[in-house]
């Protein structure tokens, strides 16, 4: 008798489990879609258009075919400020080979005057873009400054680095690889 009770209970549990597995997606549909996934290596970089301080609109797609570093920063961020001179040196060395550096100021978390004063005082030559409403930072799921997104000539993200990891030396090595791959 106990054995029959055990078999009936086991079969009942299996049937209930199968029904639960089949019904769960209907009762609790997922809300995640591709837009909920943070951009990461191996994925196509989300396109964006941002304004320069001079009012020019710059679009990421304009740089298709060349490596691009999208560097999210703020003027109050000491780590950002420490990284930028090294990035400037790499930009000067590699810009003639097609490398572009887009310094996206998180203006929604900063002040425009502070960002402009800092950028101009350092005489940086790479492109400054203003993310006034934070939409591009949100599109890239930026959670900390600096956030660095290195994009290959094919538009595919090769590296996403949060914090102080994007040094001039690391960028120089990665660009060497990307430019060699692009030439093949």
Instruction: State the pairing for strand pair 147-151/157-162.
Output: antiparallel
Q: What is the pLDDT of residue 68?
A: 98
Distance separating alpha carbons of residues 169 and 105, to the nearest angstrom: 22
Neighbouring C-alpha atoms within 13 Å toward the C-beta of 150 = 22
Q: What is the pLDDT of residue 25?
A: 73
Q: Which residues are annotated as catalytic? A: 80
What tokens appear for 8 in the block? 């009936």
Q: What is the pLDDT of residue 33?
A: 52
Q: What is the pLDDT of residue 176?
A: 86
Distance separating alpha carbons of residues 66 and 151, to the nearest angstrom: 8
Give which of 176, 140, 169 is closest to 60, Cα–Cα. Answer: 140
Q: What is the pLDDT of residue 151?
A: 97
Q: Digits of tens for pLDDT over the chain (184 positions)? A: 677 888 888 899 999 888 887 777 777 666 555 556 778 899 999 999 999 999 999 999 999 999 999 999 999 999 999 999 999 999 999 999 999 999 999 999 999 999 999 999 999 999 999 999 999 999 999 989 999 999 999 999 999 999 887 888 899 999 988 887 755 5
Sign of CA dihedral 63, 64, 67, 70: positive
Q: What is the pLDDT of residue 16?
A: 87
């Amino acid at each position: 008798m106990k054995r029959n009770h055990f078999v009936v209970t086991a079969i009942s549990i299996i049937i209930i489990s199968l029904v639960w597995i089949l019904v769960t997606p209907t009762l609790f549909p997922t809300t995640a879609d591709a837009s909920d996934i943070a951009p990461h290596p191996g994925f196509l970089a989300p396109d964006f258009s941002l304004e320069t301080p001079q009012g020019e609109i710059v679009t990421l797609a304009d740089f298709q075919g060349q490596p691009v570093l999208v560097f999210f920063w703020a003027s109050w961020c000491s780590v950002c400020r420490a990284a930028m001179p090294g990035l400037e040196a790499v930009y000067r060395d590699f810009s003639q080979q097609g490398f572009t550096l887009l310094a996206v100021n998180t203006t929604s978390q900063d002040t425009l005057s502070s960002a402009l004063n800092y950028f101009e005082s350092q005489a940086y030559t790479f492109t400054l873009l203003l993310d006034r409403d934070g939409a591009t930072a949100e599109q890239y799921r930026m959670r900390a400054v600096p956030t660095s997104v290195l994009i290959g000539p094919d538009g595919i993200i090769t590296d996403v680095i949060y914090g102080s990891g994007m040094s001039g030396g690391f960028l120089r090595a990665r660009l060497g690889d990307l430019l060699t791959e692009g030439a093949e």
